Structure 1
Amino acid sequence: MKQPDLGKKISELRLAKGLTQSELAEKCNLSLRTIQRIESAEVTPRSYSVKLIFKNLDYEGYTSLDKDSEEDENVTDRSNLKTNITKKALIIALVTCIIALGYLAFDSKSEVQSAAQVKTIIKESQANIKKWMNTNQVDSVLTLYKEDACVLQSICGKIEIRKMLQSAINKNYKLLEYNIVSVSVADSIAVEKYENIHEFKGKTRKQVGITEWRLTKGKWFIVNDVFREY
């Protein structure tokens, strides 16, 4: 399995397990940034890392990557390393590392500050979804989904999602309560855990789920949604 299918598969398995990227990184003893880069297909990880991730996701269908395509998660281009490194090159590398560390320290602070804003945006979006679903405005709901978004990992694309939503409305679906349990934010990805109470076919039901949001061109869109009912 190669990128981007590998990253998409890991993301689907993680969401199915109800794990955030941070939780998966902790279970695998990898960095959060590594998991983010793998899922977004920015890097092709080593077979060892993939096996470790799939092991923690209880997935046994992994086929080893081609040896020639393996590279580490730090995107280190080993072919460009030279055995005869001059003192000048070492100094430049050291200065670059110091600058990078300073940037990361600053960025981590700004991320904490922006997390509250992201949570507010998601809360407002979900309030709109509740209003639109209850007033049969399916097309308005779809504006919050990416074109290739998936629901329950099998209903993918706006056309199929629209059919699902309209079918629910036709069966007297009403969203009574919607509660956000938690929101985890990392760079351009946010994972929301939620629960709701709704009416469907004349019965009141409870639903719990996980929604993955992605920041695209300055706006947050739903890319994955998995849930189950009680």
Structure 2
Amino acid sequence: MQQPELGKKIAELRKLKGLTQEELVEKCKLNVRTLQRIEAGEVRPRAYTLNVLSEVLDYNFNGVSAKLPGALLLFVRNVADIINLKKHTMKKVSILSSTLLIVFLGVFMFNFRSVSKSEQVLHVVVKEQNTNSIKWFNSGQVKQLMNDYASDACFYRNGHPAYCGKEEISKAIQKAVDAEAFKLTTIDLISLHVSGDVAIEKSLTTSQLPNGQFIRTINIQHWQRSNKKWMIVNDIDVLLY
């Protein structure tokens, strides 16, 4: 959902719950001016702010359910903060690893000895998606890259604001393609954890800069199954070096 519709929806939900702007900002730990600008459609809230509003207003704004299990909601919030951290790489990795541990222990407790048909299907989808991503990005086929993304997916790129919606994600990727900033070389799957219709993929992506230097990023993809099809609803990149 984009502005100004997003702001109107937030104002509508706030009023339905009988909350004043002052009462809502107190619950969300915001300031009134920020909420006023959001509701007026002047600015789009950061991912963290939007998730807090989702929780308080009990509404799905981002394609991530407002009724998320506590650990997964914590994951979304912390990843948003990690993207904006201007700290050392190891601190980023440490925080990210701790958050993932909470997610895995709190949300994805299932019997590893029994691999469900759904998980088998997703493993195939993820493998194909990683292989195709390299081919499609390097050849500038941005439209094909969007095939596995939900319409309201969000992309969190290290050091950049969140891009939400397939159109915005497509524009961001197209800019990188047009700038020839780097080429993807490998995407190695680290882990894939599935619980019902929700899954978290963790991969290591290696890219090559025009000067020949290699850089690596940890990529976290939040998959969700809808109508028997797995789609990416959140895509997070965190630069390692």
* TM tier relative to shorter chain: 0.5 to 0.7
Q: Number of paired residues? A: 154
Q: Distance in 2 between matches of 1:118 and 1:14?
A: 25
Residue 194 (1) aligns with residue 203 (2): yes
Per-residue CA deviations over 1:128-152 (Å, capped at 9, x if unaligned) read: 1111111110000011111110111
Q: Deviations over 1:3-47 (max 9, x none)?
A: 235446545225554545x83374xxx6759xxxxxxxxxxxxxx
Query: Which residue in 2 is equivalent to 1:220?
Result: 230
- The answer as to 2:133 corresponding to 1:124 is no
Q: CA deviation at 1:174?
A: 1.1
Structure showing greater Rg: 1
What residue in structure 1 maps to residue 170 of structure 2?
162
Find the aligned partners of 1:151 and 1:31 in 2 and give their Cα distance: 22
Query: Partners in 2 of 1:181 and 1:109 — Cα distance?
Result: 19
CA RMSD, 1 decimal: 3.0
1:3 to 58, 61, 73: 58
Mapped to 1, the partners of 2:184 and 2:104 lie a distance apart of 34
Does the 8 Å CA contact 2:107/2:195 hold for their aligned counterparts? no
Query: Aligned ranges for residues 18-37 of structure 1 at < 5 Å?
Result: 19-20=99-100, 23-24=102-103, 26=105
Q: Where does the alignment leave 5 or more consecutive residues of structure 1 unmatched?
A: 34-103
TM-score normalised per structure 2? 0.55
- After superposition, what is the alpha-carbon deviation per residue over 1:52-105, rounded to whole angstroms, capped at 9, x for unaligned? xxxxxxxxxxxxxxxxxxxxxxxxxxxxxxxxxxxxxxxxxxxxxxxxxxxx99
Distance 2:137 2:108 in 1: 35
Residue 12 (structure 1) aligns with: 76
Structure 2 residue 174 is matched with structure 1 residue 174: no
How far is the alpha carbon of 1:228 from its aligned partner? 1.5
Structure 1 residue 201: deviation in Å? 5.1
- 8 A contact 1:171–1:200 mirrored in 2: no
- The alpha-carbon distance between structure 1 residues 31 and 160, as it changes in their structure 2 partners (threshold 3 A), is closer
Shift of 1:2: 2.9
Per the normalisation by structure 1, the TM-score is: 0.57
Q: Say which SS state the counterpart of residue 57 (structure 2) adopts.
A: coil
Greater relative contact order (Cα 8 A, min sep 6): structure 1 or 2?
2
The answer for unaligned runs of 5 or more in structure 2 is 1-55, 61-65, 81-95
Is the contact between residue 150 and residue 223 of structure 1 (CA under 8 Å) also seen in structure 2?
yes
Residue 143 of structure 1 aligns to a residue whose secondary structure is helix
Q: Which residue of 1 aligns with 2:137?
A: 133
1:120 and 1:212 map into 2 onto residues whose CA distance is 16
Relative distance call for 1:206 and 1:192 in structure 2 (3 A) is same
